Structures are given as C-alpha cells and as structure tokens.
Amino acid sequence: MANREEVIKSLIILSAYYPKNNLPKPTISAYITALLDIPNELLLVAISDLGSTSVFFPTASEIRDHTFTLLEETNNVPTKYEAWYELTRNLGGFFYGGKPEFSHPIIGMALKGIGGWRRFCNSHNLISERKHFLDSYEASLEKKRREVRRLKETRSFMEQLRARTNTLLTMDKVERVLSAKMLKEAQDNADDPEL
C-alpha cells in the first residue's frame, strides 16, 4: 500500500500533467485519505495513464475507479458474454453429474444467483436462462466491485456494523423463541387441571 509520501509524489506527478491546477492543502489531504490503500506501483501506473488520457484533473474517485479497472483487466475478469460462453461450454461435460470450475469466482456467484448449477441444467429455456444469468452476472460483478473499491475504513466499519446487526438479529430471534416457548407453557398450564 502507498504511504503518505508516495501519494503526495503521485499527486505531484499528476499535477505535472495539468500545470494550471493548484491543489489546496485540504484537497491534498482528501486525496491522500482516498488513495492510501492502493499499492504505490499501481497508483503510479493509473496516474500516468489518467494524465495521458484525461482532459481534466481527475478526482480521487476517478483515480480509484481507474486503478481498480486496471486491476480487473489484469485479473482477467470475463465480460458477461465470456462468462455465459464459459457456462454453456461446461454444460456438455458436467451436465447433472458434478460442478464445473470456472475461470473466475464471479461466474459461480452469478450462477448461484439464478439458482445454481443443478437448476441451470434442468432448465428447458436457455434463452431465458441467458437473460437471467447475464443480469445476475452484472449484479454480482457490481457487488464485488463495490466491496473491493471501498476504502479500508469503510469496509472495517461495515463489518463492525454487520456484526452488531447479526447480534441484534440473533437476540431478536432468541426473544421470539423464548416468547413462543413461554406462551406454549402458559397454554399448557392453562389446560392442566391440577393447576
């Protein structure tokens, strides 16, 4: 991950592409916060690429987006059509008797989103399945993008919030079960002639 000095160097390099832009100190601080979790080498490549292709000085958000787009390209994330091709190519070899392995986990997530491999194999309408899979793939990819592109602090906060929410939900379930159990006992006691 980049450190504060490396992010500042990257901003200096970026500023050289846009000589009329002067960044005030609060803006520099905001950029530093937004870019600290990006590996320095990747940040430098993204900044050079943006500087040579973008007409206007990029926002911190644009730099983050471009960086993660470069990462996606490096990690060979398939397009939705490539994913569909890979999915249907596996139909003949695995049909009912197993689960194929895919080139990228997003394909499996999208398949799970439409009911899983067995349901897909049992379908008699590939045209409909194609639409559902492509929609599911886009949704799965977008969800993964949001997770990956979030700031480290945001991810950490969301995990803490999710843990608290799960605890609250579990407590709520326990309360409902206990309430139901107490109600059942009260009904049993009301029916008991010895009481």
Residue ranges covered by each domain of the chain: 4-74, 80-149, 152-195
CB 80, CB 113: distance < 8 Å: no
CATH topology of domain 4-74: Helicase, Ruva Protein; domain 3 (1.10.8)
For residue 194, pLDDT over 60 is answered with no
For residue 171, the model assigns a pLDDT of: 65
Output the pTM of the full model: 0.68
For residue 142, the model assigns a pLDDT of: 93
**Banded model confidence at residue 45, pLDDT cuts 50, 70, 90:** very high
Q: What are the tokens at 61?
A: 């958000």
For residue 114, pLDDT over 70 is answered with yes
Helices 40-53 and 4-17 cross at an angle (nearest 10°) of 10
CA–CA dist 14, 11 (Å, integer): 5
**Token pair 């799970």: residue:** 112
Helices (H) and strands (E) in the chain, counts: 10, 0
For residue 150, the model assigns a pLDDT of: 85
Contacts for 65 with CB less than 8 Å, ≥ 6 apart: 149
CB 40, CB 6: distance < 8 Å: yes
pLDDT: which is higher, 184 or 93: 184
For residue 96, the model assigns a pLDDT of: 57
For residue 188, the model assigns a pLDDT of: 66
Mean pLDDT of 124-152: 92
Helices 40-53 and 60-74 cross at an angle (nearest 10°) of 110
For residue 181, the model assigns a pLDDT of: 64
For residue 36, pLDDT over 60 is answered with yes
For residue 90, the model assigns a pLDDT of: 79
CA–CA dist 153, 97 (Å, integer): 44
Mean pLDDT of 55-76: 92
